[in-house]
Chains A and B, each alone.
Chain A
Amino acid sequence: MIVVFVESWNNQFKKASFEAVSYARSWANTAGCGVRAITSASAENASPLAQYGADEIATLELAQTGAGIGAQLAGLVGDAQGVVVAGTAMGKIIAPTLAALTSGALSTNTTGTPTSTSPVTVERGAFSSKGIETISLNNGLPIISFVPNAIGINEESGAGAM
């Protein structure tokens, strides 16, 4: 499973939320697995995530801080093949916290979906956008934090089991 953390604001999703699910769907299609979305939104508001590719949707009460959410996710991703977090202000704390606590392999500022899954290889911005780095995530749980608006939204239905 590719696990995607889907951020919500006052029980509502923004574009970055749907983009995160689309990203996870794209990665899961390459890896030959499913997508599990984790969100704090209510089940009623979370169900539309299925149309962007979520096969499973878990709604949880989450911590108030990015570090707290990162710690919660660390306990939920044991069976994951990868994790996706949007590069929002909160996501920029969640992703590295998760990587530290799971001894994962993290790519931030990512601008593309994985071009390889063994190891996971992605492109990211570097040198303040004067360069593009291709990075491989070699050891530990692959975790990708992408730049919002870099990937776009794709509607591709998942099973959406709550």
Chain B
Amino acid sequence: MNILVCISHVPDTTAKINFTADGSALDPAGVQFVINPYDEFGLTKALHIKEAQGATITVLNVGGPETEPTLRKALAIGADQAVRINATSTDAITVAKSIKNHIQANAYDLIICGQESIDYNGQQVPAMTAAFLDFPFVNACVGLDINGGSATAKAEIDGGHALYSCTLPMVVGGKKGLVEEKDLRIPNMRGIMTARTKPLAVEEGEGGGHTAAVSFAKPAAKSAVKLVPADQVNELVRLLHEESKSI
């Protein structure tokens, strides 16, 4: 079985986020970059499948040379080979086209993506990739069983879960629950040593873009908590309707 795991190169979840002086981009100074946490669940799941029934795992990132350490970490965790598609990664549709092009040139049975990356929070690339390829797609995937040429996937939906049966090849947008956090794989010494010699190929990606970031800013500081007396229910309803827009 051939599994493709798409990896995003993102700021660490604990990183303090600052933007450049002109607000045009993230200021990378002092920021540690890591594998997107949602993708880590997908990579560990791929390793589980490999250990259960045999598979070759390819990890792929769309980005510049600065993302290669993140790909090497994925190799150290246990992926067999890596591909970096040389392109900017700020426009989802061009990222998805680049991934689509790679998949069409190579035979994969299963494509696992994280449902979103923690930098742009788009939740766009996995669905776009599936649409371009006309592959079955399951988002918010919290369970996946592979049986020969088909799969059963469990997804979070509004108000509960749904179970889907799909034929392979398929695309999955995974999240926590695909594997448990305690089962996430981390690199060991042997993995780190072998990662240096595992293949990392570079391909050219799509250019252009349909969207563009105009500026970035930090959100306004949160206001103080409002305490509403128990006998002022009407005021509570007004605040929930007009200010928090919750009802």
Contacts and interface: CB of A to CB of B under 8 A. Distances in A.
A103 B210 CA distance: 8
B189 interface: no
Given A126-B121, A130-B17, A100 B211 contact: no
**Which of B26, B123, B213 counts the most chain A CB atoms within 10 A?**
B123
B127 A121 contact: no
Contact of A131 (B124, B131, B218, B247): B218
B13 A108 contact: no
Contacts of A95: 124, 127
B157 A90 contact: yes
Interface in A45-104: 66-67, 70-71, 88-90, 92-93, 95-97, 99-101, 103-104
Contacts of A97: 127-128, 130-131, 137
Contacts of A108: 121-124
A161 interface: no
Interface of B is mostly: mixed
Interface residues of B, number: 49
A101 B247 CA distance: 34
A133 interface: yes
B217 interface: yes
Interface residues of A, number: 45
B119 interface: yes
Contacts of B120: 126-127, 133
A30 interface: no
B246 interface: yes
Interface in A126-158: 126-140, 149-152
Contact of A138 (B139, B158, B210, B242): B210
Interface string B102-123: 0000000000000000111111
Interface string B215-230: 1111100000000000
Contacts of A9: 158
Interface of B: 11, 13, 17, 19, 26, 92-93, 96, 118-132, 136-137, 139-140, 155-158, 208-219, 241-242, 244-247
26 contacts: A67-B136, A70-B127, A89-B155, A92-B127, A93-B127, A96-B123, A96-B124, A96-B126, A96-B131, A97-B130, A104-B210, A105-B210, A105-B211, A108-B124, A121-B214, A126-B216, A127-B118, A127-B121, A131-B17, A131-B26, A132-B217, A133-B215, A134-B214, A134-B215, A134-B216, A136-B211
